[in-house]
Every structure is written in C-alpha cells, then in structure tokens.
Amino acid sequence: MNISKLEFDTEARPTIAKRIAESLRDAIVSLDLKPGDAISESDIAARFGVSRQPVREAFIQLAEQGLLRIRPQRSTEVVRISIRDVLNARFVREALEVAVVRKAAAECANMPADTFEDLFREQMAASDANDYRAFHARDDAFHRLIAKLSGNEFVWKLIDAQKVQMDRVRYLSLKLGMPATIREHRDIGEAILSGNPDLAEAQMRKHLRKIDTQIHQIRDLNREYFQEE
Amino acid sequence: MNISKLEFDTEARPTIAKRIAESLRDAIVSLDLKPGDAISESDIAARFGVSRQPVREAFIQLAEQGLLRIRPQRSTEVVRISIRDVLNARFVREALEVAVVRKAAAECANMPADTFEDLFREQMAASDANDYRAFHARDDAFHRLIAKLSGNEFVWKLIDAQKVQMDRVRYLSLKLGMPATIREHRDIGEAILSGNPDLAEAQMRKHLRKIDTQIHQIRDLNREYFQEE
DNA sequence: TGCGGGAAACTGGTATGGAAGTATACATGT
DNA sequence: ACATGTATACTTCCATACCAGTTTCCCGCA
C-alpha cells in the first residue's frame, strides 16, 4: 500500500472567529439582525460566551463583505440595504455567471439529460411545502452546479460573496415568484444541455435581472430596512 | 447652512492593521517577501514596533486574498505562486473586464478622442525610462479608467483583488513586453472610442490572455517561487 | 423651563499574558 | 546504529487589560 500520498484536511477545525462570522452572517441575511441595528463586540461576545477578540475578527470579515459598518469609537451597525449596492452586486454576479454558463453550455457534450432533474424536483417540493430555506438552498445549489459543470467551481466563492448583498432582498421577497424561479432555472438548464451558449447567456441575464424590478417593490414595502438614497 | 449632514472620510485614519496589511502586500507582490518564506506574528510585530494583534488581523486579511497561508500552531507562510490560481484569477478578471469594456464601448458617445492620450504618453515615458513601478501604476490606471468610463468603477475593487494573484507573475516578467502592452492598450482604447463593443471585448480578451503563455516561461525561470502541481 | 458642563458609560483599537498545539533537538535505552 | 521518549522553543488562537475617542445623561445654573 502506498501511504506517501495520504493527507487529511488541515482546515477541519474552524476557529471561533469563523464560526461567529458565519453565525452572524446568517442572522443578518435572515433579517434576524435588522438593518440599522447597532451591535457591539462585547455584546456579541457575551452572548456567545467568548472573548471580544474572535468577535472582533468576525466583525472585520463581515465589514469587508459589506454587511457591517464599523465606526471606530462609535458603534458597529448592520448596514441598511442599498439599492445601489444590490445592483452593483447583481452586475458583478451577472458578469461571472454569464461567463460560466456559456462555458457550461459549450462543454455540454457529455452531460446526461437528467443532470438537473434531481435539483428541480427537490426545489419544486420545497416550493409546494413553502419551505423557503430549502428552496433557497436548492437555488444556490443550481447556480453552483453550473459553475462546477463549467470547470470553474472556484467562481462560486465570488458569486456567493456578491450574493450576500442580494440575499436580504431575496429573503424579503419570500413567497414572490418561487414557481417563476423554477421555470427560469428550467430554461437555463435546457439551454445548457442543448449546447447553446447564446441562449444560455440570455436566459441567465433575464433570470438575474428580475431583481432590478423586484427591489423597488420590496423597498416600498420595507422602507425601514433600506438606506435613503 | 445645514451642517448636520456634513461628514468627512471616516476611513481617513487607517488602523495599524490596515497599514501593516498594505505594507505586507507590497512586500509580497514585489517579491521582497519570497514565496515559501515563513513569517510569524511576533516577528512582524517586532519589526514594525507594534503589538501582535494588528499584525494578526493583517495576516487574516492577506490569507483571504490568497497571499498567506495560516497553519494554526504551525506557521504562516507566503504562498507559492500557483499556475492554477493565477489562471483562475485571470478567468474572473476577464469576465469582469469584458463586462465593463463592453459597456464603456457602448456608451462612448460623448467621450473626447484624447481620453486615453495622457495615460498612454505617461506609460510610454515610463517604458522608455525603464521605470517599472510607474509603468505598472499606469497600467492599472488604464484598466481602472475603463471601469470608471463604464459607470461601474466599483468593479475595480474586485479586479484589483484578483490582480494580486497575477501581480507577482507580472513583476517577474518585468522587462518582457512593455511596448507590446502599450500597443494592446491602444487597440482597446480605439475600440472603445469607436463604439465597437465586440472589438473591444476581443482586444481585451487577447490582452488578458497573454499571461496564459507567459506564466509557463516565468515558472521555468523561477521554479523556486512556484508550487509544484 | 431651557441650557451648558462634565462625569460616566459606552464604543472600537491596541497591548500583553497565557493556553493549546506542533516541530525539533537531544538524551536515553536497547 | 537506531528507534523512542522528552524537554524546549517555537507557532497561532483566545482572554484579559488598558487606551483613546464618542455619546449619553444628569446635575447645576440662569
């Protein structure tokens, strides 16, 4: 037996800071922590039963993702949703997703026709059950799968980073348009499997740009969560 | 006069952590800190005359940019250049730059014909003087200007983040092809000003993809800086 | 009643000490 | 000569203490 190539995952033990960051991110995206809320290092530290240091590192990370605004000596607050920032994130995400979906469509030769079927079925089930969490998880999984099929799964990390800016809007739109989303995913999937990059690109752009119109409705219904601009 | 809304740049007072991070990034990109070098919090802290905490935060930031590898309880080292990572960064950068250059070309209507002239002249001067620092600064300025012209200057932040993965290769290629670069920039500029998105896209892709062939030469000349893969 | 003034209670930023884990040199026993 | 145990000197991660601004609020005063 050749043992020389054995390795185990050295990143397996996440630090407290990372866990805190993840937990806070979930809380922010799910609007458990509301836009505009002020939080402090010591407050969160006490709530988690840890010291300020790892919390501080989590804050810094979330601030870089644009979810927190750290004002030294003043406060740290959950940033309000900015239409501008959401659209900027959408622009970047679109550029990236178009690139990968085109590649996926171009290299579809050896893909089985039922590549997406499991995902679609699960997502429809989630939709019928009004299980938003599962629905969104499957939504992400679909987009991630496309990146993987294109041979550029690493791009998902960036798409995901952009997505956080859009996730709160998506959360607020909840019941709006779950069936429509599934239909759009089907269109994208078919375009990929038919090996048509141009069509896949068009469908993807159409899918992603729906947020441009949705966001204004969402803001009008949730003014207090949005930045005045 | 309403003074209540006045604000000055609250980011004006950079923290020690941010300054350390920037300084280290420069050192890494310019190969002053060599790929594979091990550094420690206390070591760097002593060298800068500060405590370990801000250094630690700088380390974390650089690790997220993919420049450092933190192995808890073991060491922190400057990551070796990975051809795979460089090409991944190039893929992302290309997707973003194509998106902005197309928009720039499409909205070129009211751009004066000499928009890029100053930059080109300065870059040629830097090339003649063999001033690599100035040359690369102008190079960045050109790409950044395109993003700005497209109305999406914020994309530059992301392009810049991807670029660090390519910067060390660029640094190693130094004298290679400065005139060629200027020529490519001219082609891109002309395509934009002539309002031809397709041509602008093609020129941009050609420009960015030169690294794909360069990188293998660079690696063969600097094996010790590259990851075995 | 309205308005300063200033102490006190916050905030985030930095410094420092200790805990837990790992690498390495070296002694020890066979 | 060669494994194996162990002391020691690192490393990062977390906790604690202190510092320097900022905000809040209450008290004294007009």
The two domains A16-78 and A83-225 share their CATH topology (first three levels equal):
no
pLDDT in tens, B28-39: 999 999 999 999
**pLDDT value at residue A8:** 52
Within 10 A of A123 (CB to CB), how many other CB atoms are there? Answer: 23
Does A154 sit within 8 Å of B88, measured CB to CB? yes
What are the domain boundaries of chain B?
14-78, 83-225
Class of the CATH domain delimited by A83-225: mainly alpha
Using DSSP's 3-state secondary structure scheme, residue A76 falls into strand
Contact A77, A68 (CB under 8 A): yes
Does A155 sit within 8 Å of B91, measured CB to CB? yes
Question: In chain B, what residues touch A94 (CB-CB under 8 Å)?
Answer: 99
pLDDT in tens, A83-106: 999 999 999 999 999 999 999 999
Whole-number Å distance between alpha carbons of A23 and A101: 31
Cα dihedral across residues B201, B203, B206, B207: positive or negative: negative
Contact B173, B215 (CB under 8 A): no
Mean pLDDT along residues A184-213? 96
HEC profile for B142-206? HHHHHHHHCCCCCHHHHHHHHHHHHHHHHHHHCCCCHHHHHHHHHHHHHHHHCCCHHHHHHHHHH
Question: Distance, angstroms, CA B141 to C1' C23?
Answer: 46
Q: What b-and-e string marks burial along B110-124, b requiring 16 or more CB atoms within 10 Å of the CB? A: ebeeeebeebbebbe
Residue B126 φ then ψ, to 5°: -65, -40
Bridge partners, B77 (sequence order): B38, B69
Class of the CATH domain delimited by A16-78: mainly alpha
Chain A interface, Cβ < 8 Å to B: 10, 13, 15, 53, 57, 60-61, 64, 71-72, 88, 91-92, 94-96, 98-99, 152, 154-155, 158
Nearest to B95 among A13, A99, A154 (CB): A99
% helix, strand, coil for chain B, step of 5:
65, 5, 30
Does B71 sit within 8 Å of A10, measured CB to CB? yes
Nucleotides of C under 7 A from a protein CB: 10-17, 20-23
CB pairs under 8 A between A and B: 48
Chain B interface, Cβ < 8 Å to A: 10, 13, 15, 53, 57, 60-61, 64, 71-72, 88, 91-92, 94-96, 98-99, 152, 154-155, 158
The CATH number of domain B14-78, selected from 1.10.10.10, 3.40.50.20, 3.20.20.70, 3.50.50.60: 1.10.10.10
Scanning the structure block, which residue is given the tokens 């720039």? B104
Average pLDDT, chain A: 91
Q: Is the pLDDT of residue A195 over 50?
A: yes
pLDDT in tens, B6-46: 233 333 457 899 999 999 999 999 999 999 999 999 999 99
